[in-house]
Amino acid sequence: MSLPDIASKLERVSSTVSIAGRSLLGLDTNPVSDDWSHITKVDPEGEKQLPLCFPLYLSQTSAISVGGSRDVTGPRTEEAFELLEYAPVPAFHEPSAAQHVTEKTRDHAEFLAIPEVLNGDSEALVGTLGQGIEYIQEDLGPSMIEEKLGFSLDGGVGKRLTAFGAGYMLQDAVFEAYIIMNPDSAAAREASVTEDDLLTPQEAKQRALAAEYHLESEVIYLEYSGTYGGEEATDILETISDSVTWSRLWYGGGLDNRNHAKEVLEAGADAVIVGDIFHEIANEEADLVEQARGEFDSIPSRDELADWIEQTVAINETSAARFLSTIVTVPDPQARALSYLAAGVEMALELDALAETADEPTTDEVAHMVQDETLSIEADFGDVLDGRDATAAAEAISEALLAERYELGEETIVSARQVGLSLS
């Protein structure tokens, strides 16, 4: 038997084993975790930012999806991943263009999740994917391999190596088969989904089955980006979840309270995706810090701060409480929100005070200032990260904010550009 014959036989055997594993033995061979019930979508676009103590909020979610369809660039995506190194849960990359994938994002991301839209134009199903694979094969792959080898690739071996490189980079990629049901969203515009493309529950189920059996999409993603899908969405989820067995079924769009999160989970979603309300915490935290600066002459205790926050805002209406309420396993979202908001405001006030102690320091001096100071937030980070990571997280975030405050450029471990707060 020739080598190609053996390869083709092996391929046939392995795909039969995989189908048998899935359908006859009922084995869960889907690489996307079945334990995930809540995913936070972090969008590295300029206007969407992270709260100061993002490791605390993100400790409650199952995983983080990094990506967005507007104003996203490779460098911004890299910055988001660098910050999210300090999040206590895995972060994966959902690019909306292949150029957002860089060597650095590949190093940081748990895996690539590639969108394919089941009710858009052919560009959104296979066109962009083809361009993406071409980019990996012809640009990103060779430059990464050449950098590792230290010499340039050409000839037959070069060709095989770059093909191998593209396969290698995509081997742990998973596919998210989107059904986009809000035509008035960036995702719909990106995929050319219009009113005419909206699906009935039965049509959605049929496409979901095609995605599971033909495309072998690890995830089927019902997307209402920016608006809650209500009964229409729960009808679709119920219909799909009755038939789809192997792919994970995710719902995203407009979630900002527990009832809606429960509704879609009870209708059969394996996980909910929450985006906007998480980013809104950053604005809320910045507003509170601004008010606290006017209110207190010295740094109050954490308890005093919590009392003041309770008098200043209706906790149940805060973005912090609403975000946490979408995580159905968090027992008391309001209490948790109050404690995280107080931690964030205290961290900002402590850093304001630290900034006052120096006049035009260098980047090295800023690093030392941060290392010599123990901020209260370290103990909070210690509750969700292990000790060394908690110190590293507090130092990296503080250093970035101080460097930004002194206009020291971008020499810090992480950039403060995506943290929604500036020191006074």
Ligand X SMILES: CC(C)=CCC/C(C)=C/CC/C(C)=C/CC/C(C)=C/COP(=O)(O)OP(=O)(O)O
Ligand Y SMILES: O=P(O)(O)OC[C@@H](O)CO
- Residue 28 contacts residue 218 (beta carbons within 8 Å): no
Residue entry with tokens 């590295």: 44
Q: Binder to ligand Y among 132, 275, 333, 344 (CB under 6 A)? A: 275
Q: Binder to ligand Y among 45, 223, 270, 284 (CB under 6 A)? A: 223
Alpha-carbon distances of 43 from 84, 94, 131, 244, 373, rounded to whole Å: 12, 10, 22, 29, 32
CA-CA-CA-CA dihedral for 54, 59, 64, 69, to nearest 10 = -30
Query: Which of ligand X, ligand Y, none interacts with 117 (beta carbon under 5 to 8 A by kind)?
Result: ligand X
Check binding of 255 to ligand Y (CB under 6 A).
yes
The smaller minimum CB distance to ligand Y, of residues 144 and 249, is found at 249
- Residue 186 contacts residue 153 (beta carbons within 8 Å): no
Minimal CB distance to ligand X: which residue? 132
The smaller minimum CB distance to ligand Y, of residues 90 and 226, is found at 226
- Minimum distance from residue 139 beta carbon to ligand Y (Å): 27
Reading the block at residue 62, the tokens are 């199952």
Hey, is 217 helix, strand or coil? coil
Query: Which of ligand X, ligand Y, none interacts with 246 (beta carbon under 5 to 8 A by kind)?
Result: none
Helices (H) and strands (E) in the chain, counts: 19, 8
Rg of the chain in Å (alpha carbons): 23
Query: Using CA atoms, how far apart are residues 72 and 95, in angstroms rounded to an integer?
Result: 9
Query: Which of ligand X, ligand Y, none interacts with 191 (beta carbon under 5 to 8 A by kind)?
Result: ligand X
In the complex, which residues of this chain contact ligand X (CB under 6 A)?
A: 41, 67-70, 95-98, 101, 114-115, 117, 124, 128-129, 132-133, 136, 178, 185-187, 190-191, 225, 275
Amino acid identity of 6?
I
- Residue 216 contacts residue 252 (beta carbons within 8 Å): no
Q: Binder to ligand Y among 274, 324, 384, 421 (CB under 6 A)? A: 274
The smaller minimum CB distance to ligand Y, of residues 136 and 179, is found at 179
Query: Which of ligand Y, ligand X, none interacts with 274 (beta carbon under 5 to 8 A by kind)?
Result: ligand Y
Check binding of 85 to ligand Y (CB under 6 A).
no
Task: List 57's β-bridge partners, or say none.
Answer: none
Q: Binder to ligand Y among 40, 62, 119, 225 (CB under 6 A)? A: 225
Query: Using CA atoms, how far apart are residues 372 and 355, in angstroms rounded to an integer?
Result: 13
Task: List 115's β-bridge partners, or say none.
Answer: 176
Query: Which of ligand Y, ligand X, none interacts with 114 (beta carbon under 5 to 8 A by kind)?
Result: ligand X
Q: Binder to ligand Y among 254, 300, 333, 344 (CB under 6 A)? A: 254
- Minimum distance from residue 72 beta carbon to ligand X (Å): 8
- Residue 289 contacts residue 261 (beta carbons within 8 Å): no
Q: Binder to ligand Y among 88, 253, 333, 344 (CB under 6 A)? A: 253
